[in-house]
Amino acid sequence: MSIIQRSQQWGTFARIWHLYDAKWQDPYLSAERIKMYLMGLYKPIYHPLNDCGDHVVVINSYDIALRGDEWRRRAYFHHTGYHGGASWTMAWEVHKKNPTMIMNKAVYKSMKGNLQRRYSMQRLHIFKDENVPENIMQNISNQIKQLRPVPLRLDEIPPQEVAEFPKLVKYPENYIAQ
Amino acid sequence: MAALCRLTVQASKAIFFPQSSRNVSLSAVSRLKEIREKKEGNTLIISGEFVKPKDEHLQIKNNTTACPLCATGLDVKHTDVLILSQFLRSDGCMLPRRITNLCKVQQKRVSVMVAMAQKAGLMPNLNPPSSKKDPKRRYGYKKYNTYFDEATIQWKL
Ligand SMILES: [Zn+2]
């Protein structure tokens, strides 16, 4: 076996660590992509009984973006088991308590409920900001592409660039700009 | 009595700290009219004249009868704050259609997209003075990041 083939062999069977920046990303759409890496669905050697899932490190889970008015429309259900123990919590209240929970639940829900799901979830590491422990950061060798670009804020664009942007509106001659 | 007090305080403020009632704009000054003084012998001629705006070379040429957005054929999203901010006053209000020269559909679409961008906190500097400038300091669910889908806008092109 040549050295190239041997390293190919290692690469195929090694557990790869992926990084995903959740800033301004939809957690429910991102979960579909993260799931592919967690379960190893993208690998040619994939088989349900083949333990070939990778690790995924999700950072900036505090800055996830929900669509439209979902922060106050989406409810998370919990039941204590006692009578009258049902509770519905709005997504923004869940996020206020625990900034990693929505991301965690989204990935958990995206996978099929079988015996492998709990083990796949153990390979998911979610952090609310960019402070990842050094021993985890050392393993990372790949970054997963974001689903949508992070939008720019107008006050963070340099004023020079704003002033030199092509103008669509032509003000009338006697218009007083406010 | 209180009203009288307030009136006197305001009057004294107006005397000692004269403030012009003009709105302050942070954008670069681009005068359309200028006051020019000319002296010919003993007569001083003061005239207000139109001047060409400084950013005229940035103006997009529109040779068609269509509105500026339709003519350029841009697919504007709510994250395109550099385009959307051109249709706004400095307090974030939408300019009327006689100023923007947009067609009815585009005017509606742009005003909806401006609302989307403001809700997402992408234009915090174009807001009323009383607003919280940092979107992360807004109340309750409003402080968290939100994005929108342009396909949900009622007015279609
Ligand atoms: Zn038009």
Please report, for the domain that includes residue B119, its CATH number: 4.10.640.10
Q: Mean of the per-residue pLDDT values for chain B?
A: 83
Mutate to test the interface with B, among A154, A168, A174 (most CBs of B within 10 A): A168
Q: Is residue B85 part of a domain?
A: yes
Cβ burial of B98 (10 Å; 0-12, 13-18, 19+) is: exposed
- Rounded to the nearest angstrom, the minimum Cα separation between A96 and chain B is 9
Cβ burial of A156 (10 Å; 0-12, 13-18, 19+) is: exposed
Q: Is residue B122 part of a domain?
A: yes
Q: Do B50 and A153 touch (CB under 8 A)?
A: no
pLDDT for residue B25 is more than 80: no
Residues B51-71: b if buried by 16+ CB within 10 A, e if exposed: eebeeeeeeeebeeeebbbbe
Taking contacts as CB-CB distances below 8 angstroms, the residues of chain A near B31 are none
Q: In the prediction, which pLDDT does B109 show?
A: 96
CA A89 to chain centre: 21
Q: In the prediction, which pLDDT does B20 show?
A: 47
- Ligand 1 centroid, distance to A151 Cα (angstroms): 26
Residues with CB under 5 A from ligand 1 (ion): B 67, 70, 103, 106
pTM of the model: 0.81
Q: Please name the residue of chain B whose CA is at the shortest distance from the CA of residue A93.
A: B141
- Ligand 1 centroid, distance to B105 Cα (angstroms): 7
For the segment B104-154, what is each residue's pLDDT rounded down to a tens digit? 999 999 999 999 999 999 999 999 888 888 999 999 999 999 999 999 999
Q: Do B86 and A154 touch (CB under 8 A)?
A: no
Going by pLDDT thresholds of 50, 70 and 90, the confidence category of residue A20 is very high
Over range B73-81, report the average pLDDT.
Answer: 94
Q: How many CA atoms lie within 13 A of A159 on its CB side?
A: 4
For the segment A140-173, what is each residue's pLDDT rounded down to a tens digit? 999 999 999 999 999 999 999 998 999 998 887 7
CB–CB contacts below 8 A, A to B:
117
Going by pLDDT thresholds of 50, 70 and 90, the confidence category of residue B42 is confident
- CA of B34: how far to CAs of A38, A128, A137, B52, B99, in Å? 66, 54, 60, 10, 21
Specify the residue for token string 């679409």: B109
Question: Which contiguous run of DSSP H or E holds residue A126?
Answer: strand A124-126
Q: Is residue B23 part of a domain?
A: no
Q: Is residue B8 part of a domain?
A: no
A158 close to B (CB below 8 A): no
Over range A43-64, report the average pLDDT.
Answer: 94
Say what the ipTM of the complex is.
0.87
Closest CA to B122 of B68, B90, B85: B85
| Choice between A58 and B91, residue whose per-residue pLDDT is larger | A58
Name the phi and psi angles at B109, rounded to 5.
Answer: -65, -45
Q: In the prediction, which pLDDT does B3 show?
A: 62
Q: Do B124 and A155 touch (CB under 8 A)?
A: yes
Question: Which contiguous run of DSSP H or E holds residue A90?
Answer: strand A86-90
Q: In the prediction, which pLDDT does B1 show?
A: 57
Taking contacts as CB-CB distances below 8 angstroms, the residues of chain A near B81 are 151-154, 157
Q: Which domain holds residue B82?
A: 59-152
The closest CB to that of B81, out of A72, A149, A152, belongs to: A152
Between the two ends of chain B, the Cα-to-Cα distance in Å is 59
Q: Do B146 and A66 touch (CB under 8 A)?
A: yes
Q: Do B145 and A63 touch (CB under 8 A)?
A: yes
Mutate to test the interface with B, among A154, A161, A173 (most CBs of B within 10 A): A154
Q: Is residue B44 part of a domain?
A: no
> Ranked by mean pLDDT, which of A4-8, A46-50, A99-103, B45-49 comes out on top?
A99-103
Q: Is residue B106 part of a domain?
A: yes
Q: Do A67 and B25 touch (CB under 8 A)?
A: no
Domains of chain A by start residue, with CATH: 3-147+154-164 (3.90.1180.10)
Q: Mean of the per-residue pLDDT values for chain A?
A: 94
pLDDT for residue A4 is more than 70: yes
Over range B68-94, report the average pLDDT.
Answer: 93
Closest CA to B55 of A157, A175, A178, A166: A166
Q: Do B68 and A168 touch (CB under 8 A)?
A: yes
Q: Is residue B107 part of a domain?
A: yes
Taking contacts as CB-CB distances below 8 angstroms, the residues of chain A near B50 are 173
| Choice between B17 and B132, residue whose per-residue pLDDT is larger | B132
Q: Is residue B51 part of a domain?
A: no
| Domain count for chain B | 1
